[in-house]
Structure 1
Amino acid sequence: MNKLKMAVVGLGHMGRHMIHRLLPQYADTIELVALCDSDEVSMNKEVEAAGISPRLYTDYRQLLGEVELDLVYIAVPPSLHYDVAKIAFEKGIHVFCEKPLANSLTEARSLVELAEQSDLLHAVHFSLPLEPAVLKLQGLLEEHAIGEIQSMELFLEFPQWPRAWQQNPWITSRQQGGYLLEVGIHWIQMIQQLFGPITHVKSEVEFPSDSNQCESRVQAVLRLHNGIDIHLSGTDKREEDERVSLVIHGEEGTIALENWCNLFKSGKDADLQPVPVEDNNSLLPILSQIVKTLHGDSGIFFNFYDGYNAQVVLEALRNPGEGFTDLSPQLMVAKQ
């Protein structure tokens, strides 16, 4: 089996995670042939620390033009996703992109079209639907463990933004940053994967006086295609520890997915109790699913259609209209 030739573009938090933590697990199937980052000094330090020797670039255009590749992992800020992915498709390179898919809905839709025209693999790094706790949650819902769903609550609440480990020049910018874009997009995509399309959004967003800064407070309602409402509460001024959670209220009880991976369930008028979650036969990381697919096997991952439809909701949240905004005309269905 020939190794896949891969490049990583961008060495922020996710790019570093890829070269230090993930790729060493795939040494038999992936060859990291090139890296790109605008900070050459930092890139050299990361390469030395990882003990690797790929070709190094500070210009992704030069990298994509010179290096023979099967796959590129895009981990640059969102404003660059479109250009890197577009060039990759033009060069016949499969694309694995960090979320959000693009920096605007126009760019995201264009990337879906480019991906379809290329007939290449296109994946967005959404892993939440394949997390063991979410798979267990899905199983409980399929068993009607809490009866018919009546409503949900989504909490994106932080004592500060950005979080201490997440410092970079763009994470607080209104254009590319904010917790809706960085964190909320994961939950939007997971909700649409489990429950179907979000078709209507109503939101109120408070921004700091500095027009360059991202959202501070958000109150919103996300309405599913079946009329179920999800009430969203977001803040960067939470007085307690961070809470990133989905609470599902049914006729016969409640299920709560607290802080990404802790699952709880209660019956009607009872207290929430922990639900054991087994981590056997994990489908993660997403990179493993991409490798399987590119080697001709069946893999599970989320493509640019998923990225685009999540971004439809994200942009409606970040740009409130009067009352509910109907998203149905904008949503896309993948071609068979």
Structure 2
Amino acid sequence: MTKLRLAVIGLGHMGKHMIHRWIPQFAGQVELAALCDNEEDRLHREAEAAGGSPKLYTDYRTMLEEVQLDLVYIAVPPSMHYDVARIAFQKGIHVFCEKPLANNLEEAKHLMELGEQSGRLHAIHFSFPLDPEVLKLKELIDEQAVGPIKSMNLYLEFPQWPRAWQHNPWITTRHEGGYLLEVGIHWIHMIQQVFGPITQVMSEIEYPTDGRQCESRVRAIMRLHNNIDIHVSGTDHRVGEERVSLVVHGEKGTVALENWSNLYMGATEAEMSPVPPAEEEGRLPIFKQVLRILNGEPGQIYDFCDGYNAQVVLEALRKPGEGFTDIRAQLLQAAYK
């Protein structure tokens, strides 16, 4: 089997995860051909730790011009996604991009169009809907284990933002940071996959006095296509440990996905017991699915159409209007599986 030639652009948390964990798992299928990061010390340090002999660059434009590639993994800040992916598509390179798809809705729409026109794979790194706990949650919802859904609560609550392991120059900025963008986007996409389209959004956002900083408090309602409301509570001043959770209230009980991977169900929110996750062959990491598809095998990914649909909701949350904003005209129904 001829190995796929991969470049990784951006060596923050996710870029390092790719080169130190995922690539070694699939060493028989992929070759790390090039690395790019704007911090030269980090570039050389991580390249040495990864081993092999990738070409090293501090400018992704030069790298994409000079290196023969099959696939690029984009793990740079959101404001750079558009330019990197655009050039990659022009070069005929498959693209695997971190979330969110872009830094605004216009860029996301154009990237989706470029991806569709390119004839190349365009995958966004959404994996949450394929987690065993989420698969079990979907099974419970489909079986109406708690009866018809009445309402939901989404908690994005942090004692501080950023979290201790996240410090970088952009993650606290209003331009391309904040917990709505970094964390909320995962839950938006998962909700779209499990419960169907979010069609209306109403939000109130409080910001620090420093106009450059991201949101501090969020109160919002995301209304589903079937008029079920998801009440969103976000803060960076939570007392105690962070809570990133979805609680689903049904007519016969409650099911909750607490802190990403702990599933509970009970007659009331106060009387819930743990629920074992789904038992099936793991489909994660998404990188495995990307490689399967590029090797001509069946695989499941979320593409730039999914990324665009999630961005529609994200931008409606981040830019409040008067009352509910109806986003149905912007959504791509074809992206819902």
Structure 2 length-normalised TM: 0.98
Q: Does 1:49 align with 2:43?
A: no
1-structure distance, mates of 2:158, 2:170? 18
CA contact (8 A) 2:70 2:94 kept: yes
Counterpart position of 2:206? 206
1-structure distance, mates of 2:41, 2:119? 37
2-structure distance, mates of 1:44, 1:155? 39
**Which deviates further from its counterpart, 273-282 or 174-183?**
273-282
Deviation, structure 1 residue 144:
1.3
Counterpart position of 1:12? 12
Counterpart position of 1:159? 159
Cα deviation 1:171-219 (Å, max 9, x = unaligned): 0000000000000000000000111110000000000011100000000
- Other structure's SS at 1:205 match: strand
Describe how 1:66-85 pairs up with structure 2 within 5 A: 66-85=66-85
1-structure distance, mates of 2:284, 2:294? 16
- Other structure's SS at 2:21 match: helix
CA contact (8 A) 1:95 1:123 kept: yes
Counterpart position of 2:146? 146
Counterpart position of 1:243? 243
- Other structure's SS at 1:172 match: coil
Describe how 1:132-281 pairs up with structure 2 within 5 A: 132-267=132-267, 271-278=271-278, 280-281=280-281
CA contact (8 A) 2:289 2:300 kept: yes
Counterpart position of 1:38? 38
Counterpart position of 2:324? 324
Deviation, structure 1 residue 122:
0.5
- Other structure's SS at 2:2 match: coil
Tell me the amino acid that sits aligned with residue 48 of structure 1. Answer: E
1-structure distance, mates of 2:55, 2:277? 42
Specify every segment of 5 or more residues in structure 2 that has no aligned partner in the other structure, as ranges: none
Tell me the amino acid that sits aligned with residue 76 of structure 2. Answer: V
Specify every segment of 5 or more residues in structure 1 that has no aligned partner in the other structure, as ranges: none
CA contact (8 A) 1:305 1:333 kept: no
2-structure distance, mates of 1:268, 1:60? 52
Tell me the amino acid that sits aligned with residue 53 of structure 1. Answer: S
Identity, % of aligned pairs?
Answer: 66
The 1:221/1:7 distance shift into structure 2, 3 A limit, reads: same
1-structure distance, mates of 2:270, 2:61? 58
Q: Does 1:96 align with 2:96?
A: yes
CA contact (8 A) 1:251 1:268 kept: no
**Alignment RMSD:** 1.3
Tell me the amino acid that sits aligned with residue 30 of structure 1. Answer: V
Q: Does 1:304 align with 2:327?
A: no
1-structure distance, mates of 2:325, 2:164? 34
- Other structure's SS at 1:222 match: strand
Deviation, structure 1 residue 40:
0.9
1-structure distance, mates of 2:271, 2:324? 34
2-structure distance, mates of 1:332, 1:109? 11
Counterpart position of 1:117? 117
- Other structure's SS at 1:244 match: strand
Cα deviation 1:107-164 (Å, max 9, x = unaligned): 0000011011111110110010000100111111121111111110000000000000
The 1:105/1:91 distance shift into structure 2, 3 A limit, reads: same
2-structure distance, mates of 1:103, 1:17? 22
Tell me the amino acid that sits aligned with residue 2 of structure 1. Answer: T
Tell me the amino acid that sits aligned with residue 58 of structure 1. Answer: T
4+ aligned runs moved over 3 Å, structure 1: 333-336
2-structure distance, mates of 1:269, 1:124? 34
CA contact (8 A) 2:73 2:95 kept: yes
- Other structure's SS at 2:154 match: strand
The 1:270/1:102 distance shift into structure 2, 3 A limit, reads: closer
The 1:16/1:147 distance shift into structure 2, 3 A limit, reads: same
1-structure distance, mates of 2:183, 2:212? 19
- Other structure's SS at 1:21 match: helix
2-structure distance, mates of 1:279, 1:16? 30
